[in-house]
Structure 1
C-alpha cells in the first residue's frame, strides 16, 4: 500500500456519506468520491500538512460537490415535489453497509448513520448548496468555523450567518420525530418482517397491522403519494399481486430498515421503512433495479 493510500483510505466511507448528504444521490456521491481521490492523489506530493489529511480531503470533496450542484435542481421525494415541477431529479437511498465504519464500537456505528435518515437528507435538499455545506461541516462533522471558512474560501462571519439560516430552514422542512426506533431493534425487525410477509404472501392484513393509522407511502419517480393507512392499503392492493410475485431481502438504508426488492424474479428496487414505536410511519419506495446489488457476499446489506 502506498503512503497516499495509507493516509487517505480510512476516510473513504465517511467521505461517501458526506457527498451523499450534499448530493442526495448514491451514484453521484460515488462519482464525486472517486473524483476527490483522483484530485488528492494528483496533489498529494504538495500537501503541506497545514490541516489534517481528513480535513484536506473534506475540502476537496465539498468543493467537488458544490461544483456538481451548480445549476442543478434539488433532489425530490413525491411528498416534497412542487406540482408544477418538470424534469425532476429524485432522491436516492443509501445502504448503511456502504458507509458504516469498520469499527467494533456500536456507538460509533449508530452515530455514523443518524445523520443519513431520509427526512434529514430530503430536508437538506431545500438548502442552497453553500448553506448545505456549512450545516453539514459544522453540525454533522463538528469542524470548527475557522476551518470551514478556510475550506470554503469565505469568512467566519459568513459561516456563522449561513449556519443560522440553514438551521432555521431545516427546522421548518425536516422536523424530527421523537419515536423512531433503531433499525436493529426488535420492534423495527418485527415491523420489517411483517412488511416482507405482507408482500411475499400477498397478505394485506399483515401490511395493515404494520402500518400506523397516519402512515404515508411514496414512490420515487411518481408525483403521487398516499397519506393515511386506508389510502395506502387501497394503493397496495393494486400492486401486491399473488403469492410469490415479490421477494425481499432485508437490509438497512439511511438508518432505517429496508429491503432489496425483486419482482417476478428480477431486481426491482428498494423500499425504506420509517419505523416508530407505534408502527411503520412511512414507506419510501425506489423502483430502480440498479439499487439492488448482485447476489452474494458483496450485496451491500
Structure 2
C-alpha cells in the first residue's frame, strides 16, 4: 500500500474526529485537508515511532485546536434560550450564529458496524454537549474516551502531564453528565417497531397527517430548526408549528430517508411553483422507546450534497 492509499483509508475516521472537535462538517473537512497537507510535507521526518494512523490523528488534533483558538463553539437553538410557544415570534435565519451541523454517516466510509461503534460519540446531543467544553478538555475527552489513547500519549500530544490529562478528563466527564440526555432517553425502540415508527413519520409528514404525528411524538418532544433561533418544546406546540408550516394537499413534499450522527434522518424536498421538488432541510430524529423525542431540522440545503443527495428531486 502506498502512502496516498494509506492516508485515504483513514479519511472517514479523521473527518469524524475533527467533526467531534469542531461541530461543523465543513470545518472538519477543511481540517482534514490541512492535516493531509501537513502530513505530506512532514512525512520525510516521520520516524515511525507510532503508526501512520496515530500520527495523522496527532496532526488533526493540533489543527483543530489551532482553529478553535479563533472560533466560537457550535450551538443548537435550545442552547441559546427558552422555547417559544408563539408562532408569531418565529425568527428569521440567524446566519451569523455558528450553528452545529449534522454528520452524514456515509462519510465514515466504513461498514455499518463501525458506524454503530461510533454512534454514542457522534450523536447530535453528545456533540452539542461537547461544544460546551474548553477545546483542550474536549480533545482530552475524545482522545481518551473515543480513540482510547493512553493518558501518557495524550499528555505528550498536548505537552502536559499525565496527571493533568486525568484531571481534565474527570472534569469533562462531570460536565457531560450534567449536559447530555439521560441514558433512558437514548433507549431506542427495537425493530420492527422502529421501522414502523419511521415509516409512519415519513408518510404523515408527506401527507400532513397531524393525528398520526400526535401519536408518534413524546409529550416533551422538541423541534429545532437551525439557522432559525426559535424552537419549540412539547408535543402540542410542535404540532401547532407543523400545522402552520406544512401546506395541505397531495404531492406537496417528498421525504427521502438517510442517516446522520448514527441517528435516523430524512431529507425534505418541497414542491415549488415550477413543480419541481427543491431541497429544504435535513431532519435528524432522536427516538426513544416512547416515540420521537426530538427533531433537529437543519434548514440548510447546502448540506444535501454531503449526504449524496441532489438539490432537485425527481419524484417518480
TM-score normalised by L of structure 1: 0.91
Q: Please tell me whether residue 147 in structure 1 is matched to residue 156 in structure 2.
A: no
Q: 1:123 to 1:156 in 2, by over 3 A?
A: same
What does the per-residue CA deviation read over 1:100-158, in whole Å, with 9 as the maximum and x for residues that have no partner? 52x3xx54331122210011000000000000000000011100011111112222122
Give the aligned partner of residue 111 of structure 1. Answer: 117
The equivalent of 1:254 in structure 2 is 261
Q: Which residue of 2 aligns with 1:122?
A: 128
Match for residue 30 of structure 1?
29
Unaligned runs of 5+ in 1: none
**1:52-95: CA deviation from partner (whole Å, max 9, x where unpaired):** 11111011000101111113211111111157x99421100011
Kindly state the Cα deviation for residue 24 of structure 1 after the two structures are TM-superposed.
0.5
**C-alpha RMSD of matched pairs (Å):** 2.2
Q: Give the equivalent residue in structure 1 for 2:295.
A: 283
Identify if the C-alpha distance between structure 1 residues 86 and 251 changes in structure 2 by more than 3 Å, giving closer, same or farther.
closer
Q: Distance in 2 between matches of 1:72 and 1:82?
A: 21
Give the drift of 1:186.
2.7
Match of 2:104 among 95, 98, 106: 95
Match of 2:282 in 1: 270
Tell me, yes or no, if the aligned pair for 1:183 and 1:256 is still in contact at 8 Å. Answer: no
Q: Contact conserved, 2:268 with 2:279, CA < 8 A, in 1? A: yes
For the structure 1 residues 294 and 73, does the alpha-carbon distance in structure 2 shift closer, same or farther, using more than 3 Å as the test?
closer
Structure 2, unpaired ranges of 5+: 83-93, 272-276, 311-316
**2:90 aligned partner:** none
The answer to whether the Cα contact below 8 Å between 1:183 and 1:252 also exists between their aligned partners in 2 is no
Which residue in the other structure is 1:240 paired with? 246
Query: Residue 73 of structure 2 aligns with which residue?
Result: 74
Which stretch of the first structure deviates more once superposed, 276-285 or 37-46?
37-46
Q: 1:256 to 1:5 in 2, by over 3 A?
A: same
Residue 197 of structure 2 aligns with which residue?
Answer: 191
Checking the alignment, whether the CA contact within 8 Å between 1:25 and 1:92 is kept in structure 2 is yes
Q: How many pairs does the alignment contain?
A: 293
C-alpha offsets along residues 10-65 of structure 1, whole Å, 9 cap, x if unaligned? 21111111000001011111111111111111111221011111111011000101
Preserved contact between residue 215 and residue 282 of structure 1 (Cα < 8 Å): yes
Following TM superposition, where does structure 1 have runs of at least 4 consecutive aligned residues deviating by more than 6 angstroms? none
Q: Hey, what's the Cα distance between the residues in 1 that align with 2:255 and 2:53?
A: 38
Q: Deviations over 1:204-226 (max 9, x none)?
A: 11211211111111111122211
* TM superposition score normalised by structure 2: 0.87
Secondary structure class of the residue paired with 1:90: coil
State the Cα distance separating 1:187 from its structure 2 match.
2.7
* Whole-angstrom CA distance in 2 between matches of 1:38 and 1:121: 26
Partners of 1:19 and 1:181 lie apart in 2 by: 27
Task: Say if 2:108 and 2:115, in contact at 8 Å, map to a contact too.
Answer: no
Contact 1:182 1:255 in 2 (8 A): no
Residue matched to 1:178: 184
